[in-house]
Amino acid sequence: MVSKGDLGVSYLVAVGVVLFGVFSGGMLLPVEAARSRSLLGLSMGIMIAGSFLVTGIGLARSTLDDERVWRVAGWSTLGLGVPTLLAVLVIVLLPSMLRGIGWRSVVLVNIAAGGVVGVLVGSLLELRAEHERTRTLNQRNTVFLRLFRHDIRTSVNLIRGHLDLVASAGETPLESADVIRDHLTHIERLSDAANRLDDLESMTETEPIDFGALVRDRVDTIQRSTNAVTVETDIHPESYVRANGLLTSVVDNLLRNAVEHGSTSHPSPSEADPWIRVTVRPDGPGDTVVLRVEDDGPGFTDTELAVHADAETTETALRHSDGVGLWLVRWIVDAYDGEFTVENGDDGGAIVIVRLPTTSDEPATNPELESPPESVLTPRAR
């Protein structure tokens, strides 16, 4: 099966060959006057054919995906089409403007220049986008590998220590069993996070989703699985965004994180249950939808706030966040062309805000969005 990338490369090469023939065809005429007039056409033909051929061959050997190659072909078509259309309109509608000038040469130059500019603009835009994608992938790999190594090492050391305690005691203390179980679960969640990153890298298609309905469903699931939690909601109906199953991971992570970290401010069973507030509302003139999740815990650390305040930052050994959960949410939201911010409330507690572009398209169905078996909880230092 021929891909869009192969079609784009073939198109660029074919256009270069055809235009070379069209522009330089006058050189084959036996009349000396016609041959001399075709010198400009020959030079233009060589220039535009060379640019299209070199671009096509370069794209065929590049690592750009099919969609990007196809878009370069589209830009080249636009570059050729606009000056060609303008020339036709002038010839048909305003022929008097062409009297006394070498209009054929002007048309040739404009069409050739338009094609070359279209190829260059398309190539530069797509190469820049590919550079940004590569930079983001490098950031993801740096962050995730550091966190993965740190968390795995910590969990393995704790598990080994408690297993040694069990071996020496001859029985399994309840505390050791809980610690071993918790850290094995954490390792499993890290594996789930790696799978989410793979899904994010291969993500190509989105569809209209009722964001409010999705959040309401995930809140209900949280309340059924966690008895001791108070959830206040303010969810606007029919808040549509373009996303896919990864959006469920975003909502689940934020809700479970709020429940887990909100509960740290209530260590005693006699105290009130942890409280979270979830809102989904249109923002501004209605071009974005905002998900806001608040908890009543101690809030984010200064380090966490600093890291996620700068979208260009890359974690280092001295300046890093405390878990992969927020990074995973941030990367998914970025893939949807949304915004992700964290802050602390005036009266304490953490606040996470996700802004996603709205869509006027309504979901054709109510698809069952993918739900991870365990969301990645962010072990946030409070």
117 and 251 inside one domain = no
Same structural domain for residues 131 and 242? Answer: no
Going by pLDDT thresholds of 50, 70 and 90, the confidence category of residue 317 is: very low
**210 contacts 238 by C-beta, under 8 angstroms:** yes
Looking at the domain assignment, is residue 293 inside a domain? Answer: yes
Residue that is last in its domain, among 135, 163, 196: 135
pLDDT at 31: 41
Which of 172-181, 220-229, 253-262, 369-378 has the weakest average pLDDT?
A: 369-378
Quick one: pLDDT at residue 283? Answer: 82
Specify the pLDDT at position 215.
93
Q: Do 241 and 378 fall into the same domain?
A: yes
What pLDDT was estimated at residue 286? 67
Q: How many CB atoms lie within 10 A of CB 348?
A: 12
* Residue 140 dihedral angles phi and psi, to the nearest 5°: -60, -45
In a shared domain, residues 228 and 87: no
Q: Is 328 within 8 Å of 376 (Cβ atoms)? A: yes
Residue 164 placed within a domain:
no
Q: What is the pLDDT of residue 278?
A: 94
Domain limits at 52?
A: 4-135
Q: Indicate whether 140 belongs to any domain.
A: no
Q: For the chain, what percent of residues have pLDDT higher than 70?
A: 73
pLDDT tops 80 at residue 157: yes
Residue 251 lies in a domain: yes
**Domain at 311, CATH number:** 3.30.565.10
Out of 135, 163, 192, a domain closes at: 135
Q: Which residue has the higher pLDDT, 364 or 148?
A: 148
Answer whether residue 182 is part of any domain. no
Residues 355 and 236 in one domain: yes
* Residue-wise pLDDT tens digits, 346-378: 888 889 999 999 988 877 655 445 444 444 444
φ/ψ (deg, to 5) at 49 = -65, -40
Question: What is the rounded CA–CA span in Å between residue 256 and residue 219?
Answer: 9
**Alpha carbon distance, N-terminus to C-terminus of the chain:** 54
**Cβ contact 292:355 at 8 Å:** no
- Give yes or no: residues 85 and 227 share one domain: no
Do residues 249 and 375 share a domain? yes
DSSP one-letter code for 143:
H
Greater confidence (315 vs 275) lies with: 275
In a domain, 225, yes or no: yes
Distant-in-sequence, close-in-space partners of 373: CB < 8 Å, separation ≥ 6 = 192
Q: What is the pLDDT of residue 251?
A: 92
Q: Would you call 330 exposed, middle or buried from its count of C-beta atoms within 10 A (0-12, 13-18, 19+)?
A: buried
In a domain, 185, yes or no: no
| Whether residue 336 sits in one domain with residue 230 | yes
Q: Is residue 189 part of a domain?
A: no
Q: What is the mean pLDDT of residues 136-148?
A: 74
Looking at the fold, whether 106 and 240 belong to one and the same domain comes out as no
> Does 99 score more than 70 pLDDT?
no
pLDDT of amino acid 323: 61
Instruction: Count the domains in the chain.
Output: 2
| Same domain, residue pair 212 and 321 | yes
- Looking at 135, 155, 188, which one is the last position of a domain? 135
116/257 same-domain check: no
Over residues 203-214, the pLDDT tens digits come to 667 888 999 999
291 beta partners: 280, 354
Q: What is the pLDDT of residue 379?
A: 41
Does pLDDT of 224 surpass 70?
A: yes
